[in-house]
C-alpha cells in the first residue's frame, strides 16, 4: 500500500512501513538539514512547509492509502508552554485533517506527547477526535513507551489510529500482549565506542561536589526523593501565604535569599535578583513548589552542620540548575557515577541504570553513562529510537535534536502490522477488476476441463 510521511524527521514511520512492504509516495519536513538526511536515508526528496503545500499545492500530494504524521508536540508538551492550538504549530493538525478530507486514505497513524489527550481540560483532544470522526474515520488511541517493548527508554507517546473501514479488525489489546518486562540496558550500550563525547571537566567537577555533599549525609539518613533545591539552604523569604514580589523592599529586607544571603539594604530589584529564579513569581506559589521549598529547607536544617562547607561551594555555581539535585535511585548505592545522569534545567538528575530518560530535542540534556564518564553516542540514540542504521546530521546538536523529535519505529511497526492487515486491493484497467477477471477465467478453464 502507499503511504505519506508528514513531519517526517528521520523517517521513523518510513522505516516501520517499508519494513512491512508499503511504499512511500510523499514526504514533508520543514527543516532543510533533515530534508537532506531524509534523502540520504530513503532516496526521497521531502517537500517543505506542509501548510504552504496544503494551501497552494494540494494536488502535489498524491493519492495514498495510509497517512502518517508525528505532528509537532511542543504546543502540547508539559515541558513547554502548553499553548496548544494557540501556538501556530498546534494548528498543523488542521493541515492533516485537510489532507485526510482531500485524499481520503483508508488509514492514518498519528503520534504526539501523551498530554495531548488532557490539554486544555481535554478540549484539544475532543476537537481532534470530533474532526477525525466527522471525516468518516473510526478512531482509537493508546499511550506507549519504548520500555513497554524491551527498549530501555522512558518516553511515553500517544498513538492515534483511524480507519475508514472501521476498527473491528484492530485492537490495542493485541499489541499489549507483546509488552515485556525484560529490558537489558547493556544491550544498548557500547563498551568501547569508536566515537564518543566525554563529559566536560566542569560537569565532572559538579558531580564530584554533589558526591561530596552526599558523602556528608549519615548512612542512616535517607536521601530525599524530592528535588533538593540548594538555593533554599539558609533562605527564609516568604512562600507559604505570601510571595516576595508582593512585599515592599522594607519588609523583604528582614528575610534572606539564595543560600541565606541578606536582602537588607538592597533595592527591590536587587532583592529579587538575590532570589531563586522560580521565586520571582508575580502570583502565589503552587503547592508542588511550596512543598519542594519546605522540604529542602527542612533537610538543610537537619544536616546543616554536616554539609555547611560543601554548600558554600555549591553556592558558587552561576547556574542555578547545577545547584539542584534530583536523586531518583532511592536507597541504592550512594555513588553518583554508578548511574545514568542528566544535566537538566530542573537540576542534576541521577537515575537508576535500567532505563534511559526520554531523548529530548535539546543537546543540553543528552543522557550520560556515569560509569563511562561520557554522553551516549549517536548510534546508541538510534538504537533507543529503533532507527539503527540510519544516517544522522553530522553535527551532534542537530543529530540529538532529530533523535529527540523522532518517532520510535518499533512501536509504529507493531501498530501498523495490526492496523493494516488487509489484502492489497486489485488494480483496475479500463474499469475492469483484473484480479477478479483472472479468477473468473481460471474458474471457466477448470469447469471446461
- By annotation, the residues acting in catalysis are 73
Distance CA 386, CA 369 (A): 19
User: Three-state SS for 12?
Assistant: helix
Q: Contact, 325 vs 227, CB < 8 A?
A: yes
Phi and psi at 418, nearest 5°, equal: -90, -35
Q: Are strands 157-163 and 138-144 parallel, antiparallel or unpaired?
A: antiparallel
As beta bridge partners, residue 118 has: none
Taking Cα atoms as reference points, which of 70, 156, 154 lies closest to residue 111?
70
CA angle 43, 9, 38 (to 5 degrees): 15
Q: Which of 137, 51, 64, 139 is nearest to 96 (CA)?
A: 51
Q: How far apart are the first and last CA of the chain?
A: 36
For the chain, give the longest Cα–Cα distance: 109
Which among 240, 278, 232, 277 has a CA at the least distance from the CA of 257?
Answer: 232
Amino acid at each position: 500500500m502507499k503511504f505519506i510521511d508528514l513531519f517526517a524527521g528521520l523517517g521513523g514511520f518510513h522505516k516501520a512501513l517499508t519494513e512491512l512492504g508499503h511504499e512511500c509516495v510523499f514526504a514533508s519536513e520543514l527543516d532543510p538539514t533533515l530534508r537532506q538526511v531524509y534523502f540520504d536515508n530513503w532516496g526521497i526528496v521531502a517537500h517543505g512547509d506542509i501548510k504552504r503545500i496544503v494551501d497552494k499545492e494540494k494536488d502535489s500530494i498524491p493519492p495514498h492509502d495510509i497517512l502518517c504524521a508525528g505532528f509537532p508536540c511542543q504546543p502540547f508538551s508539559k515541558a513547554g508552554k502548553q499553548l496548544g492550538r494557540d501556538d501556530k504549530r498546534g494548528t498543523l493538525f488542521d493541515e492533516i485533517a485537510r489532507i485526510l478530507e482531500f485524499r481520503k486514505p483508508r488509514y492514518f497513524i498519528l503520534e504526539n506527547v501523551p498530554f495531548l489527550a488532557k490539554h486544555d481540560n481535554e478540549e484539544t483532544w475532543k476537537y481532534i477526535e470530533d474532526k477525525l470522526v466527522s471525516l468518516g474515520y473510526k478512531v482509537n488511541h493508546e499511550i506507549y513507551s519504548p520500555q513497554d517493548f524491551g527498549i530501555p527508554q522512558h518516553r511515553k507517546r500517544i498513538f492515534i489510529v483511524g480507519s475508514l473501514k472501521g476498527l473491528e479488525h484492530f485492537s490495542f489489546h493485541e499489541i499489549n500482549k507483546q509488552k515485556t518486562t525484560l529490558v537489558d540496558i547493556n544491550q544498548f550500550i557500547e563498551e568501547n565506542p569508536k566515537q564518543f563525547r566525554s563529559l566536560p571537566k566542569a560537569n565532572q567537577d559538579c558531580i564530584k561536589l554533589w558526591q561530596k555533599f552526599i558523602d556528608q549525609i549519615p548512612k542512616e539518613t535517607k536521601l530525599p526523593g524530592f528535588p533538593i533545591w540548594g538555593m533554599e539552604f539558609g533562605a527564609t523569604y516568604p512562600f507559604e501565604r505570601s510571595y516576595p514580589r508582593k512585599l515592599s523592599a522594607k519588609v523583604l529586607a528582614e528575610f534572606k535569599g539564595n543560600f541565606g544571603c541578606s536582602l537588607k539594604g538592597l533595592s527591590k530589584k536587587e532583592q529579587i535578583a538575590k532570589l531563586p529564579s522560580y521565586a520571582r513569581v508575580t502570583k502565589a506559589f503552587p503547592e508542588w513548589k511550596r512543598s519542594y521549598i519546605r522540604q529542602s529547607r527542612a533537610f538543610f536544617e537537619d544536616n546543616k552542620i554536616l554539609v555547611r562547607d560543601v554548600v558554600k561551594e555549591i553556592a558558587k555555581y552561576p547556574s542555578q540548575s547545577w545547584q539542584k539535585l534530583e536523586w531518583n535511585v532511592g536507597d541504592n548505592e550512594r555513588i553518583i557515577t554508578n548511574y545514568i545522569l542528566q544535566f537538566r534545567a530542573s537540576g542534576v538528575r541521577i537515575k537508576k541504570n535500567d532505563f534511559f530518560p526520554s531523548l529530548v530535542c535539546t543537546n543540553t540534556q543528552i543522557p550520560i553513562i556515569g560509569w563511562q564518564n561520557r554522553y551516549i553516542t549517536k548510534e546508541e540514540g538510534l538504537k533507543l529510537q529503533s532507527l539503527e542504521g540510519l544516517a544522522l546530521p553530522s553535527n551532534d546538536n542537530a543529530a540529538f535534536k532529530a533523535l529527540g523529535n523522532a518517532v520510535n519505529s518499533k512501536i509504529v511497526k507493531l501498530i501498523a502490522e495490526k492496523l493494516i492487515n488487509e489484502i492489497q486491493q486489485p488494480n483496475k484497467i479500463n474499469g475492469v477488476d483484473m484480479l477478479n477477471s483472472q479468477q473468473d477465467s481460471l474458474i471457466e478453464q477448470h469447469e471446461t476441463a
